[in-house]
Amino acid sequence: MKLRLREQLSIGRDSITKPAVFAATIVNAEAGQVSVALPLNSTTVPGVYFAEMALVCLDADGCEYIVFSNVFYAIIERGLWSAGARGNCALGPPSLAEVRLQLRDSSPAESFLLDNLMFDDAEIALSIQRPVQYWNEIPPPLNPLLTTQNFPYRYHWLEGIAGNLFLIAAESYRRNNLTYSAGGVQLNDQDKEPNYQREGERRWNDFRAFVRAKKASINLEAGFGEVGSTY
């Protein structure tokens, strides 16, 4: 068993840097449980990572081949011992707790109807990377491209994350919208798409407006400069 790990938005961008590879141990084969110990230098830079756990075998020529694999997100959260705390080399994304607190989704007790968390960790991981993807792809192009390790605009990033999560929720309500009758009472507890769609679009449009203004400002500043002189 082997685990490969690489920052999500760096995939396909740098052909020189290879994913980090770690040996894994099978804990319970029937239950599909494996264990891997990540070294300290692989967990000090916070970000959203693409991870793939694979069963690797060797053929008759000694070449590796994959029997099966499982892909998932790995989130390394920032803290006072992370690399970003020792200098601004890696800021890292908002933590899962920050995102959930922003959305009042920290506990099942906060959702009287669902009695459960509304967003799972994978949805939050996807929504963390989406604003940074948008930043990288909207004109004008700026170098270097940013990742979930170093995107610096904290307030607007969190707003973009919230907007994406609300749009995900709107898609779910749109798919499951059904009015039905029970005991002579007409019910539709999934008729919430308009509210989530509207709030998701508001927050995402605010983030888009910030990106356009900020990138235009950076691009304009880069177009002017000065040359120093010893005279």
Tell me what pLDDT residue 48 has.
95
Q: Looking at the structure, do residues 101 and 203 belong to the same domain, yes or no?
A: yes
Claim to verify: residue 66 and residue 16 sit in the same structural domain: yes
More confident position, 132 or 114: 132
Domain-located, residue 58? yes
Total count of domains within the chain? 2
Grade residue 19 by pLDDT with cuts at 50, 70 and 90.
Answer: confident
In a domain, 229, yes or no: no
Q: Is the pLDDT of residue 194 over 80?
A: yes
Phi-psi region of 107 (alpha: psi -120 to 50; beta: other; left: phi over 0): beta
Span 179-201, mean pLDDT? 83
Indicate whether 227 belongs to any domain: no
More confident residue, 216 or 191: 216
Query: Model confidence at 82, in pLDDT bands (50, 70, 90)?
Result: low
Residue 84 lies in a domain: no
pTM: 0.84
One domain, residues 189 and 119: yes
Locate 124 and state its tokens. Answer: 């939050």
Same domain, 68 and 102: no
Cβ contacts of 16 within 8 Å, gap of 6 or more: none
- Give the residue with greater pLDDT, 97 vs 224: 97
Domain that holds residue 50: 2-76
User: Is residue 124 a contact partner of residue 97, using CB atoms and an 8 Å limit?
Assistant: no
Residues 6+ apart with CB under 8 A from 51: 3, 4, 5, 71, 72, 73, 74
Q: How far apart are CA 103 and CA 111, in angstroms?
A: 11
Same domain, 70 and 100: no
Of 12, 44, 76, which residue is a domain's last? Answer: 76
68 and 155: one domain? Answer: no
- Does one domain contain both 58 and 144? no
Please check whether residue 132 lies inside any domain of the structure: yes
Q: 117 and 72 in one domain?
A: no
What pLDDT score does 93 carry? 94
In the chain the first and final C-alpha atoms are separated, in Å, by 66
Residue 193 located in a structural domain = yes
- Where among 76, 104, 137 does a domain terminate? 76
Predicted local confidence at residue 227, as pLDDT: 62
Assess contact for 43 and 4: CB atoms under 8 A: no
137 and 204 share one domain: yes
Same domain as 201, residue 97? yes
Least confident of 35-44, 114-123, 130-139, 218-227: 218-227
Mean pLDDT confidence for 79-84: 68
138 with 201, same domain?
yes
